[in-house]
Amino acid sequence: MLLRVLADGVPIDCGGVADGFTGCYGKLPAIGIAAVATIAAAAVVGHAVLAALVPQLFNAMTGVPTGGGEGLLGGGSPTVKVGGLRVPVLPSIGPSVPFAGRVLLVGEGNFSFTAANLGLGRAIPQNVTATAYSPDGRFPPDVLSRADQLRAMGANVRLQVDARNLPADLAGGAPFNTVIFQFPHPGGPRTGASVAGRQLMRDFFASAAQRLAPGGKVVLTLRNQHYVSHWRPAEAAAAAGLRLESVTEFHQGHYPGYGHVTTSAGATSPDVSQGFTFVFTRG
């Protein structure tokens, strides 16, 4: 695909190589077309490298918008602000949450994310440990029923496992290759949610790092830039000895049957149709 960069730096689609030159640049001799094609290809590759290595420089050079207040990509922006830097968000054309090796899922309110991934054949049930926590220790009948279904498939399902205290609540056994926390929330009043969210991030990453296998990944999905900015997950992960590896779009539709619920009494289940999936590794 050939891109034409306008004066303000915003790239637009100029069609395919076969028709793009006449549509965007008029008639050109064959040798000129070949030269322009070569330059355009080099520019596209160069931008991709810059996007991966120097996010801020890439945005400044290309004029790509870097909004980031509301919604998934802050008004169409392909970046998310993490620790003062703009990090490229990778597109997702299918299930993007890592699900490899021995998998631990925490905060599974109704176990539907576990069921969705197993239904897609992304892991064998015997390699999956799914956990949930409720402040009052009670779970609805449908949650208990799904837990029994997962156990019947061979998965390990545990109730009252606190994501902030995994070394104690999941003591013993082999470490995990992938630890997943989907759309966490500390609960409580909205006025203190930012402070409580930052504390939740610190406690979770410190806890998960102690049950993580060498080379393992800790995966966190948040709804939008607001939570990223206020909860500061990258800072919490760094304090636990983890570094950010990638950020990918999350789309609920890639996980048939997945429906997020909250375990806070009286709280409304949030919209998780899209979000950001962060992957952290050691060192």
Q: Tell me the pLDDT of the chain (283 aa) as tens digits.
A: 333 333 333 333 333 333 333 333 334 344 444 443 444 444 444 444 434 443 443 333 323 333 333 334 444 557 988 988 899 999 999 999 999 999 999 999 999 999 999 999 999 999 999 999 998 899 999 999 999 999 999 999 999 999 999 999 999 899 999 999 999 988 777 777 889 999 999 999 999 999 999 999 999 999 988 889 999 999 999 999 999 999 999 999 999 999 977 655 555 667 889 999 999 998 6
Task: Decide: 195 and 227 in contact? Cβ < 8 Å.
Answer: no
d(CA 267, CA 264): 6
What is the pTM for the complete model shown?
0.72
pLDDT of residue 59: 34
DSSP 154: T
Q: Where in the chain is the domain with CATH 3.40.50.150?
A: 103-282
Q: Which residues contact 214 (CB under 8 A, 6 or more apart)?
A: 282
pLDDT at 269: 65
Architecture of domain 103-282: 3-Layer(aba) Sandwich (3.40)
**Which sign, positive or negative, has the C-alpha torsion 44, 46, 48, 51?**
negative
Q: What does the block give as tokens for 138?
A: 């009670």
What is residue 4's predicted lDDT score, i.e. its pLDDT? 32
Which residues, in sequence order, are CB contacts of 249 under 8 Å at separation 6+? 72, 73, 89, 90, 91, 92, 96, 274, 275, 276, 277
For residue 200, the model assigns a pLDDT of 96
In angstroms, the first-to-last Cα distance of the chain is 37
Which amino acid makes up residue 227? Answer: Y
Helix residue ranges, H only, the chain: 17-24, 30-53, 55-62, 112-119, 141-153, 166-169, 193-209, 225-231, 233-239
Query: Which residue reads 């406690």 in tokens?
Result: 203
Residue 93's pLDDT is 92
Assign residue 84 a region (left: φ > 0; alpha: ψ between -120 and 50; beta: otherwise): left
CA 166 to chain centre: 21
- Cα gap 204→76, rounded to integer Å: 30
Cβ of 58: how many Cβ atoms within 10 Å?
Answer: 22
- The answer to whether 106 and 156 are in contact (CB under 8 A) is no
Q: Are 128 and 157 in contact (CB under 8 A)?
A: no
Task: State the Cα–Cα distance between residues 100 and 232, nearest whole angstrom.
Answer: 26
pLDDT of residue 87: 93
